[in-house]
Structure 1
Amino acid sequence: MKYFAVFLPMMDEQKSKDYREEHLNFLEDLRSNDTVIMNGRFTDGAGGLVIYKGNDQDEIKALVEQDPYIINGARYYEMHEWDMVSNYNI
């Protein structure tokens, strides 16, 4: 499995408010099958970040493009494959 960091920069604040519940429900459905690992908003209002887990970028892109935020023009997205380090010793 690979991990993907998907940035969701703000395009339309009102649409983001309007579609927030649908967006969060969408992510929760994906979280229930272990496709979304974590998500959250940026506290400065710039947008948010979702960490997805999947086989390849095409698979995750297809999912991201089903997000109500993307479909309704509330946000756009930027995706990067992420090499997650889960056990880091300092």
Structure 2
Amino acid sequence: MPTFVKIEEGTVDKPTFDQYVPAHKAYVQDLIAKGHKAKTGYWAELGGGMMVFEAESMAEAQAIVALDPLVKNGCVKYQLHEWRIVME
């Protein structure tokens, strides 16, 4: 299955962002349970973060990202890319 990367930048203040973090974590846990091998985190030195996950296609990846509570609630703007891994 192809790997996708969502690179995100926060667009709201920290208290607003933080209220959606529990729902985001539950959403990622659900992706893991469904076999998407999702991993998520934030940049230590900058605002924003990244999520890496597997999906069948760019269309499925876009649909997955659209369901992210951080996206649905306007907390982040993002870029979505298919990452073609050369070596592991």
The normalised TM-score by structure 2 is 0.88
Kindly state the Cα deviation for residue 86 of structure 1 after the two structures are TM-superposed: 4.6
Residue 36 of structure 1 and its aligned partner are, at CA, apart by 3.6
* Deviation of 1:37 (Å): 3.0
Moved beyond 3 Å, runs of 4+: none
Q: How far apart are residue 5 of structure 1 and its match? A: 0.7
Q: How far off is 1:64 after superposition? A: 0.4
Counterpart for residue 7 of structure 2:
7
- TM-score scaled to structure 1, two decimals? 0.86
Superposed CA RMSD in Å reads: 1.4
**Could you tell me which residue of structure 2 aligns to residue 70 of structure 1?**
71
SS in structure 2 of the partner of residue 22 of structure 1? helix
Change in Cα spacing, 1:85 to 1:39, as seen in structure 2 (3 Å) is: farther
Give the secondary-structure state (helix, strand or coil) at the position aligned to 2:26.
Answer: helix
> Equivalent residue for 2:23?
22
Cα displacement (A) at 1:76: 1.5
Q: CA contact under 8 A between 2:5 and 2:82: conserved in structure 1?
A: yes
Counting aligned pairs with the same residue, the percent is 24
The AA in structure 1 aligned to 2:44 is T
Q: State how far apart, in whole Å, the 1-side matches of 2:38 and 2:19 are.
A: 24
Residue by residue over 1:16-65, the C-alpha shift from the partner in whole angstroms, topping out at 9 and shown as x without a partner, is: 11101101110111011221432111112411111110111110101101
Q: What SS does the aligned partner of 1:77 have?
A: strand
